[in-house]
Amino acid sequence: MVFALIIHLGLGTLWELSSYEYSGVLDFLMAVAFAIAATAVGWFFIHCTKFFKLAFEKRPIPIYIKTLIGGVLLGIIPYYFPITRYFSHYQLNDLLAGEYSLNFLLLILLFKIIAIAITVTSGWRGGFIIPLFFVGATLGLIIHHIFPATSLTLAIISCMAGINACVTRTPMSTTILLATLTGFSYFIPILFASLTGYFLAPRIPFISSQLEKQSE
């Protein structure tokens, strides 16, 4: 709440999605299918982060050199893809409002994942929950490009839920957070997608604090 007040974020709907109309039980199955795709991207993100972590820790180098390398890389990526900048609170609305080609969306997906991985492994302060929502929204747009008959809003919401639950292993908080920030009134499809991501997540937790708790 303090963070929201400081940056004038507010506590209501943040991301503007197009209207969604529930069309039946099939929507739950579609939410699961979208979440499976998002989980695959979540696995890619986890392995991408591990790769950069190993790369930055292969040789003992001063933190200022590490952050310098990370900062240069984080400057190059948004130079070519400006929408990948920052922590994605506001860039996500720009993504949803924009009209991007399929190829460009694929590049945004790839380089946003790389940018997040570099941020959290090169010594810079940053998280990955909201940025991963951005990645999930990008994947939802990609799926809608490939399958135009699918519900765009359902694809975006399900992918956002699936990838976050896969990485963070927090299906309930992911569901509540998404419902709040998007104003999506249909709670069950988000829950189905979140649980899919959770059950298909790697057995070894990605977050170190969860790993320590599991070992105990």
For position 58, which CATH number holds? 1.10.3080.10
Give me the half-sphere count of Cα atoms (radius 13 Å) on the Cβ side of residue 73: 22
Residue 162 included in any domain: yes
Count of domains for the chain: 1
- Domain extent at residue 180: 27-202
The angle formed by the CA atoms of residues 31, 18 and 147, to the nearest 5 degrees, is: 50
Residue 208 included in any domain: no
Our measurement of the distance from residue 133's CA atom to the centroid of its chain's CA atoms, rounded to an integer in Å, reads: 3
Residue 84 included in any domain: yes
The pLDDT value given to residue 8 = 63
To the question of pTM greater than 0.75 for the whole model, the response is yes
Q: What is the pLDDT along the chain (216 residues), one digit of tens a residue?
A: 676 676 665 556 777 777 777 777 888 899 999 999 999 999 999 999 999 888 888 888 888 888 898 899 999 998 999 888 887 777 888 888 888 899 999 999 999 999 999 988 888 877 788 899 999 999 999 999 999 988 898 999 999 999 999 998 889 988 888 888 887 778 888 899 999 999 998 877 666 555 555 545
Our measurement of the distance from residue 54's CA atom to the centroid of its chain's CA atoms, rounded to an integer in Å, reads: 22
Token pair for 184: 């999506």
Residue pair 36/200 in contact (Cβ under 8 Å)? The answer is yes
Beta-carbon contacts of 147 under 8 Å, excluding residues fewer than 6 positions away, are none
Residue 183 included in any domain: yes
Beta-carbon contacts of 111 under 8 Å, excluding residues fewer than 6 positions away, are 77, 80, 81, 84
The pLDDT value given to residue 132 = 92
Question: Would you mind telling me the total number of residues written for the chain in this entry?
Answer: 216
The pLDDT value given to residue 98 = 81
Residue 56 included in any domain: yes
Alpha-carbon span 59 to 39, nearest angstrom: 32
Residue 184 included in any domain: yes
Alpha-carbon Rg for the chain, nearest whole angstrom, is 17
Residue 211 included in any domain: no
Residue 2 included in any domain: no
